[in-house]
Structure 1
Amino acid sequence: MLMMIFAAVAGLVALVGGGELLVRGAVQLAERARVTPLIVGLVIVGFGTSMPELVTSVEAAMRDAPGIAWGNIIGSNIANSLLILGMAAAITPIILGQGKILRDPLIAVSASVLLLLLAISGSGTFLLGLAMLAGLATYIVYCYRQEKRIERQAGTDHVAPIDKAIALELTDPALHGKRNGWGKPVALTLLGLLILIGGGHLLVGAAVDIARIFGLSETLIGLTIVAVGTSLPELVTTIIAAWRKQAEVAFGNVIGSNIYNILGIGGATMLLAPGAIPSELISRDLPVMVASAILLLLVCFFFRKFGRVTGLLLVAGYCAYLGILVAAAL
C-alpha cells in the first residue's frame, strides 16, 4: 500500500516537474525558431501547461480506465472554478476590468454544456474527438486575431490563453532562455516529455491499484486525487498572479485552462481512445462542472469581481462537493 501511495506522489511530482521542463524547452525552441511571442503564449505555453492533464487522461483512457480519464478532466475544471479561483480571491480580491470579460467565460460554458450533452447521448467517437480539437484550434485562431487587434489598438484586454502564458511567466520569470543553440532546448523538451509520460504512467497505475484495494470507483479517484494533483500548476500560477495584483490574468488563467481541458484534453482523449463518457458522471459531476462555469459567468456579468467573501464561498462549495463525493463512496 505504501508503495502505491509513493508511486502516486512520485507520479504527481514527475507530472509537474516534467511539465515545467517541457514548457521551458518548448518556449526556447520556439524563440530559437523565431516564432512570434503571441504564438508562444497561445499555443506553446497554453498546451504545455495543460500537458499534465493531457498525459494523465490519455494514459488512463488507453489503459481502459475511462473513469480516471474523464474524472480528471471534469474534476480539474471543478477544482479550477471553485477551489483555485476561490483560493486566489480569498487571498486578494479579483476585480475585473471593463473589457470583454464575458467572452471567454461564455466559451467555457458552451464547452461544458457540449461535454454534458455528449455524455448524455453516449457519444464518443474518433470524429467527435477530432471535432473538439478543431474547435480548440478555431478558438486559438480567433484568439490570435483578437490579440493582434488588441495590440494594434494598444489595449490591455487579453484573451484567456494569453493570460495563461502571463500567469506562468509571473511564476517563472526565467522561462525565456538565451538563444545559444538548439541542443539545450531540444534536450529540455525531450526530457520533459519523457518525465511527463513516466509520471502519467506511475500516477494512473497507482490510482487504479488504490481504487481497487479500497473498493472505490476509478471515477472517484479521477475526480479527486488525480484532478487536484494535475491542477497544481494552475493553482500556483493563479495564486501568484492574484498576489501580484494581476486580477484579470489570474481569472483568465482559470478560464483558459477550463477551455483547454474540455476541448483539447477531452478531444485528444476521445481521439486516441474513443469511447463514451462514463454514465456515472452524468447525474452529479458534469452538472456541477456546468453549474460552476455558469456561476463564474454570472459573477462576471453582475458583479465584475470576486471578493474575499465570494472566494471563501467558492472554496466552501468545493469542500461541500468533496464531502458529497466521499459520502457517496462510503
Structure 2
Amino acid sequence: MHDAPPAHHLVERLRGTLLPAVLTPMDPHGAVDHGALAGYARRIAAAPIGGVAVWAHTGRGLYLSDADRARVLRAWREATPLPIVAGAGTPRSLTGPSLAEAADATVAMAVRAAELGADAVMVYPVTAFGGLDDGPARTVRLHERVAAETGLPLVGFYLHGEAGGFPYPPDLVRELLALPSMLGIKTATLDRAIGCQDALWAGRGTGRLGITGEDRMFGPSLMWGADTALVGIAAARPELSARVLRAWTGGDHAAFVRASERLDRFAAATFYAPIEGYVQRMHWAAVHDGLLPEGAAHDPYGPPPPAPERDRVIACLEELDAEAPG
C-alpha cells in the first residue's frame, strides 16, 4: 500500500493541454495490430498534445485482454515521454460482477497500469453505483482505494449513461476533488449541458483540473470552466481540438470561434446516434489522415456501420482540408 503523492505538479503540467483518448488499432475480429499501433503512437505523439489517455472508451480499454492492455500501454510509453493517463474499470469479460467484484477489478486494472508505467489513472464509474443511495460514498471510497494501492494521481470520470456511466452530482464532484490524489474530473456527458455545467462549476476554486471530454460541446465546455481536454475526437486529426484549446487559453476569441466551428463540423460527422459508432468513425478518419492502415481500422465492439457513414466522415475531412484553418 502507498500513500498517493501530491498531484499538484502534474496538475500544472497538464493544465491547458490536450490529451487524445487514443484508438486501439484492430482487425475485424478484435486482434490488436501492434505494428500499426507503434506507427499510430509515433504520429499522435508528434502532434501538439500534452499527454495521452490509453484504455479509455475510445480505445475500447475495458474490452481488451490483460495482455493487450499491457502491450498498448508499453507501446505508448515507448513512443512518448509525455504523461500517460490509463483508464481503469471493470473489464467487459467479467460478467455479472457483484459490487465488490467490480470495485476489486477496477483497483486491479489501476495497479497494473501503475506497474506498466502510467503516470495517472482515470477511474471509470462502477455502473451499478449509480442506482444506490450510497453510490456517491462508494464512488469516493473506490477512488481512495485506487489512489492508496497505486500511488498515482487520479482523474475522476463523469461518463454518460450510454457508455456505462451515471451522473456525478456537484456534491460528489466536490468530494472527489477534495481527495489529495485527484488531478481533476473529466466530464463526458455527451449532450447533457446542465450536468456538464454543474460538474465544472463544482470544481471552481479547487485548484484541480476541469477536464473536458465533451466531443459535441467542446467549445462551450471551455467557456463553462474546463481548462484541459481529454477527448476521443482528438484520436484523429488532433490539431482540430488543439487549435480550439490554444485559442481559448490565449484569449483569442475570434480564432476560438473559427476553430470551434471547424471542430464542431468534424464532431457532427463522427459523434451522432448510434453514439457507439463514433469509435469506428474515428478509425476511418485516422485512415484518411494516414495515421492507421486500412486493415487495422476496425471496431468490432460497436454497431455495424453502414457505408454512407464513412462517406460522411471523409467528405467532412476533405471539406476542412480545402479551407484555410484560419
Indicate the TM-score class for this superposition, using the shorter chain for normalisation.
Answer: under 0.3
Q: Relative to total residues, which structure has the larger helix share, 1 or 2?
A: 1
Q: TM-score, normalised by structure 2?
A: 0.25
Q: Relative to total residues, which structure has the larger strand share, 1 or 2?
A: 2
